[in-house]
Amino acid sequence: MDKILRVKMGADGGPQIVVEPLGDYAGMGGRAMTSAVVAKEVPPLCHPLGADNKLVIAPGMLSGSAAAMSGRISVGCKSPLTGGIKEANSGGQPSQMLARLGCAAIVIEGRPADDTLYKMVVNKDGAKIEADNSLKMLGNYDLVEKMKAAYGDKVACISIGPAGEMKMSAASIAFTDMEQRPTRHAGRGGVGAVMGSKGLKVIVVDDEGTARREPADPDKFKAANKAFVAGLKKHPVTGEGLPAYGTNVLTNVINEAGGYPTNNFSTGQFAGASKISGEAQAELENTRGGEGSATHGCHRGCVIRCSGTFYGKNGNFLTKQPEYETVWAHGGNCGIDDLDAIAELDRMDDDFGLDTIEMGATIGVAMEGGVAKFGDAEAAINLLKEVGQGTPLGRILGNGASVTGQVFGVERVPVVKRQAMPAYDPRSVQGIGVTYATTTMGADHTAGYSVTANVLGVGGNVDGTKPEGQVELSRNLQIATAAIDATGMCLFIAFAILDQAETFQALLDVLSGFTGQPCTADDVTDLGKSILKQEREFNAAAGFTSKDDRLPAFFKTEPIAPHDVTFGVSDEELDSVFNF
């Protein structure tokens, strides 16, 4: 990857695209690239929806190569939801394709002079941008169909739905999967609203005529990649559980552990968990769609294959397999135990362009506020329709759980830095509570997934119901995760590399074989630390202090069943997470 595409939306005479060399950003990818550009080029105090903010889309360091699991993509900006730096991560095809086109990043800056909507096309001949107001307020599914008709059935799309156009803080950016469906999303932090504020509806990516990125040391790379894949297939999580039941394999596990937030974080177990579990979901998918429907990859090069295909009662495709976080958010968190209703909500989120975590948490808060009753799936569907329509109530909900809680006078609002918490209660899984509180991103499980040691016994065992050991656990995982996010690797490789030293070494050898440079565990640690340092410096300049690295007070005052525990990690301990 040798270039940056800088899209100047506010240029005189209309948007312009400038091709730039990498310069100071050479060698960077994924989160390392997005956070570096945002930290260097975006004024920390700017309005997230203003001309000074920038949207950065960057494939990983290994994307576009033969490295297994390397097709993740990062999206960065100043978040309209949190007010801080943001990296949202997605699967799908565009990362591999942009990398093969030699594009290390697309940087979208400025703002159009009017409300004209634009589309952009990137291929081997370059990039172009043009106005297309016929795309206004299209859902992602209809939009992609229109792009396929215009540009062919081998392109990929990066797009926003109506929520992004309406600049809602829960708006996501969609990335098409291998079947050209807009099912993969950079969901968190309102990145779709920033894309909407730039007047850009869709980026069409066509890598026809390009070649795979080749490693500097082919023999070393090939051998390491083979060993890495073998390690992933050998581990019980990445080789058995995730392929068979998808990410939703966690529902029964986390529910049994008493860390499954139910009815807006009021208890830690859901009576209907078995009805919406990964096991139940896989059985339903394989029955309706045929054997194998519950096993699917989200991008080329995926060997874990933790996704799937959900068919409706009529036998037609409805959505991709709803992920664990989505099933929890629209399911247990709202007291709903109907997989078909959850899948319908997932389809709507993808079409409107909304973060499923934020929307499920928001509907849970609305239910707590009396807008609907817990367990009422029809009411949840109708509330989400309001978001897609942009009604006054829909605009409140579309701006997330924090806003909704304020509007409806709800005290129990599970957010940090205004971003909703995912599917693990920090009282029963206290390591994830440390991550929620201290990550630069707002409440985000992927930033430091301590569920590994707190619940799953991966990478060691740290009792999730007690505060001891949680700071060190979260710190180490936040550092490692930042580095993984830079490579373009899927975060799920962490299960195998934490438990199997030889698989971690294989990953280091993959990186070394590809770049031609030595790569040690210390190098990975240093990369993660440098990314976090940049992000924290940006947030500090944006006005964040240690007081923002806290959980809502109710986690320390309301014990959660079945363990009857509160979050016990002290403020002083939280303030020590980044003492490295």
Task: Delimit the domains of the chain by residue range.
Answer: 3-205, 217-245+426-580, 260-424
Residue 298: predicted pLDDT: 79
Within 13 A of 432's CA, how many CA atoms are on the CB side? 28
CATH code given to domain 217-245+426-580: 1.10.599.10
Candidates 57, 72, 173; CA nearest to 487 is 72
Judge contact between 78 and 84, C-beta under 8 A. yes
3-state SS string for 448-508? CCCHHHHHHCCCCCCCCCCCCCHHHHHHHHHHHHHHHHHHCCCCCHHHHHHHCHHHHHHHH
Residue 547: predicted pLDDT: 97
Q: What whole-number distance in Å separates Cα of residue 281 and Cα of residue 64?
A: 32
Residue 297: predicted pLDDT: 80
- 66 three-class SS: coil
Judge contact between 205 and 63, C-beta under 8 A. no
Which class would CATH give 3-205?
Answer: alpha beta
Q: What whole-number distance in Å separates Cα of residue 557 and Cα of residue 274?
A: 29
Q: Which residues contact 445 (CB under 8 A, 6 or more apart)?
A: 325, 422, 423, 424, 432, 435, 436, 451
First CA to last CA distance, the chain = 32
- 519 three-class SS: coil
| Cα 48 from chain centre | 19
One digit per residue, the tens of pLDDT, for the chain of length 580 reads: 999 999 999 999 999 999 999 999 999 999 999 999 999 999 999 999 999 999 999 999 999 999 999 999 999 999 999 999 999 999 999 999 999 999 999 999 999 999 999 999 999 999 999 999 999 999 999 999 999 999 999 999 999 999 999 999 999 999 999 999 999 999 999 999 999 999 999 999 999 999 999 999 999 999 999 999 999 999 999 999 898 888 999 999 999 999 999 999 999 999 999 999 999 999 999 999 887 787 878 777 889 888 889 999 998 999 999 999 999 999 999 999 999 999 999 999 999 999 999 999 999 999 999 999 999 999 999 999 999 999 999 999 999 999 999 999 999 999 999 999 999 999 999 999 999 999 999 999 999 999 999 999 999 999 999 999 999 999 999 999 999 999 999 999 999 999 999 999 999 999 999 999 999 999 999 999 999 999 999 999 999 999 999 999 999 999 999 999 999 999 999 999 999 8
Candidates 504, 508, 493, 531; CA nearest to 28 is 531
Which is it for strands 73-78 and 3-8: parallel, antiparallel or unpaired? unpaired
Q: What whole-number distance in Å separates Cα of residue 329 and Cα of residue 140?
A: 21
Judge contact between 277 and 337, C-beta under 8 A. no
The domain defined by 260-424 carries CATH number 3.30.70.20: no
Angle between helices 501-515 and 218-234 (to 10 degrees): 150
Candidates 328, 200, 214; CA nearest to 260 is 328
Name the token pair of 78. 């100043």
Overall pTM surpassing 0.95 (yes/no): yes
- 192 three-class SS: helix
- 509 three-class SS: helix
Name the token pair of 383. 């509330």
Residue 289: predicted pLDDT: 87
Name the token pair of 250. 């966690």
